[in-house]
Amino acid sequence: MQKTKLLLAILTLTTPGVVLQAEDIDFATQIYPFVKSGCVSCHSPPYADERGRTRRPKADIVLATKEGILNSVDEDEEKILVPGDPDASRMLEVTKLPIYDDMHFPPEGKAPQWTDAEKELFSKWIAAGADFGDWTEDPAPREGLEWDGVEKQAGTVETFE
Ligand code: HEC
């Protein structure tokens, strides 16, 4: 038993093709968590704040629904996500602009930056066709947005005290 398991483990680790394929990336569990933490505080669907005033998503870009991610446009009226083409996807590009650029998102200190590994994964997911699986929307986009101000990847940006 044990030996078979060990052999299987070795085979799995060494066989080419068993490495994570882009098509295997699961949006709901592998991508959306960092979209939510990094972007949704400013890009959720409209909601009523504590005074009952309606707050609209920044730039009218909604990143907490499939519909919003696929159909929101940037200031040039271009779709922010182009399935199959990471380089044409503004949603990825803004995260890679220099931190001091006005169009870098999230703004420094406002939400956690995407790590290099997350940007890479997001890029692969777009290249593979941006498959959302069964995911259509975050049922509670305003919940779970608290952030302690500490970046996941040390050294990318200064943290705010
Ligand atoms: C603290 C609030 C805030 C956060 C967090 C935030 N954004 Fe934004 N975002 C804005 C504002 C404000 C604008 C409009 C900027 C302007 O037009 O000058 C904007 C605009 C954009 C645009 C349009 C850029 C263009 O060229 O027109 C994209 C794309 C975008 N955000 C993506 C993201 C992504 C992706 C994240 C997370 C990684 C994110 N934003 C996080 C506030 C935020």
Q: Which domain holds residue 46?
A: 25-136
In a domain, 160, yes or no: no
Handedness of CA 27, 28, 32, 33 (dihedral sign): negative
How many Å apart are CA 3 and CA 110, to the nearest integer? 51
In a domain, 88, yes or no: yes
Position 157 pLDDT exceeds 70? no
In this predicted model, what pLDDT tens digit does every residue of 2-47 receive, in sequence order?
Answer: 565 555 555 555 555 455 565 689 999 999 999 999 999 999 999 9
Spacing, Cα 120 to ligand 1 middle (Å): 19
Average pLDDT over residues 55-61: 98
According to the model, what pLDDT value does residue 153 have? Answer: 82
How many Å apart are CA 80 and CA 138, to the nearest integer? 19
Ligand 1, atom 22, residue with closest C-alpha: 74
Spacing, Cα 39 to ligand 1 middle (Å): 8
> pTM (2 decimals)?
0.87
In a domain, 155, yes or no: no
59 CB under 6 A from ligand 1? yes
Domain count, the chain: 1
Position 159 pLDDT exceeds 90? no
In this predicted model, what pLDDT tens digit does every residue of 63-114 receive, in sequence order?
Answer: 999 999 999 999 999 999 999 999 999 999 999 999 999 999 999 999 999 9
Model confidence at 161, pLDDT cuts 50, 70, 90, reads very low
In a domain, 2, yes or no: no
Strands (E) across the chain are located at: 47-48, 54-55
In a domain, 14, yes or no: no
In a domain, 5, yes or no: no
